[in-house]
Amino acid sequence: MVITAKTVGDLFDLLERKPDLLVDADLTVERDGIAFTVRGYDDLVAVDLPSFGAAFALWRDRSVTGTDAATALAAAGLTAELRVRGAPVARLGEDAVPSRLAKRLGLGPIELFVDGALLALTPQRE
């Protein structure tokens, strides 16, 4: 299938006319020397990064705003969950419930998990 859209609005229009997507993926991605995993479980895509530094770099270098990404994911019936060291720290898309903290920080319709962030910051025990 070839999708031709010239604007984000055109892409949203195309996605709204399509049935929800299901994703089945198990990838290891390397970007700027940092490896992370992307796993798809039907309507959830989990991106697991090794550190908050890697998460902030990915967020800083994103090509679309959080609002546009959340809207596109929701239109496709998908949810993306950002994890750091296996702990969920943020979610956007279909099943995300935007948090007040994210709104105050100007992050858009993103659900933040403070408990997941604390868990991700905890040193690993052997």
pLDDT band at residue 105 under the 50/70/90 scheme: confident
Return contacts of 57-63, CB within 8 angstroms, 24+ apart. Answer: 57/32, 58/31
Give, for 111, the enclosing helix (H) or strand (E): strand 110-112
pLDDT at 20: 66
pLDDT at 18: 63
Q: Would you say 45 and 88 are in contact if contact means Cβ atoms under 8 Å apart?
A: no
Taking only the tens place, the pLDDT of each residue in 21-78 is: 677 888 898 888 889 999 998 888 999 999 988 888 877 777 777 777 888 888 888 8
* DSSP result, 25-91: EEEEEEETTEEEEEEEEETEEEEEES-HHHHHHHHHT-SS-HHHHHHHHHHTT-EEEEEETTEEEEE
Residue carrying the six token digits 């890697």:
54
- Residue 55: how many CA atoms within 13 Å on its side-chain side? 21
Q: Looking at per-residue confidence, does 96 or 99 come out higher?
A: 96
